[in-house]
Amino acid sequence: MKRPLLKTAAAVTVALCVSIGYADTVLIFDDLGLPDDTVISNQYAAQGVVFSPQDGQVLLRTATLPLFPNEPQGIAEIPYYTSVIIADFTPDATLAGAWIDFGMAGNGVKIEAFDGPGATGNLLASASTMSETYLGVTANGIASVRFSNVSDDPEVTWLLDHFTFELIPEPGTAALLVLGALAIGLRRRS
């Protein structure tokens, strides 16, 4: 009798641990229903990300050259010439990126991933683009990412849309309860 119970508990534990896996989150910024020039910072904190600028403000803007015509809003830092957007994740992420929509491409946009908050700590990964495309990075333990101009070209204007990230899942409560019940069951039987 002991073995079937043990096998069942082990199977349930494995199934719960597998189901906790990773899942991408995509922010399209049109979902808030807010007007242009709304400051964006912690509106997406419940999903695990907070946005901040280097200077100026991160604002909701309607793209002038929309990649997604039915979802025209994205986020940009105003004033444009400083163009740095930082995203902090809680918990850490394993991937992050966004579609880049250029007003003026200049020398392009880059993304850098860091293991510290506020784009601090060790640089984990980076990528850049000069075209309207998805720009992203993958690495373990991404605490923050920074989008910025590739050079100090004040003519570069861009915004982010369809911001995508994948958070590292925290241990599932159900899996911990099953493991605890299994340990109690085994202790009683021994």
Nearest to 85 by CA among 73, 98, 94: 98
pLDDT greater than 90 at residue 120 = yes
Could you report the per-residue pLDDT of 10-63, keeping only the tens digit for each?
Answer: 444 444 444 445 578 998 888 778 888 888 889 999 999 999 987 777 888 876
pTM of the model: 0.76
> Quick one: DSSP state of residue 185?
H
pLDDT of residue 172: 61
Point out which residues pair with 141 in neighbouring strands. none
Q: How far apart are CA 62 and CA 73, in angstroms?
A: 4
Please tell me which residue, 82 or 143, carries the higher pLDDT value: 143
pLDDT of residue 151: 77
Letter for the amino acid at 146? R
- For the chain, the distance separating the N- and C-terminal CA atoms, rounded to the nearest angstrom, is 13
CB 88 within 8 A of CB 52: yes
State the CATH class of domain 21-170: mainly beta
Please report which confidence band the pLDDT of residue 108 belongs to, taking 50, 70 and 90 as the band edges.
Answer: confident
| Overall average pLDDT of the 147-170 stretch | 83
- Average pLDDT of the chain, as a whole number: 79
pLDDT of residue 128: 95
pLDDT greater than 80 at residue 5 = no
Nearest to 74 by CA among 175, 167, 157, 184: 157
CB 121 within 8 A of CB 69: no
pLDDT of residue 141: 96
Q: How far apart are CA 33 and CA 113, in angstroms?
A: 29
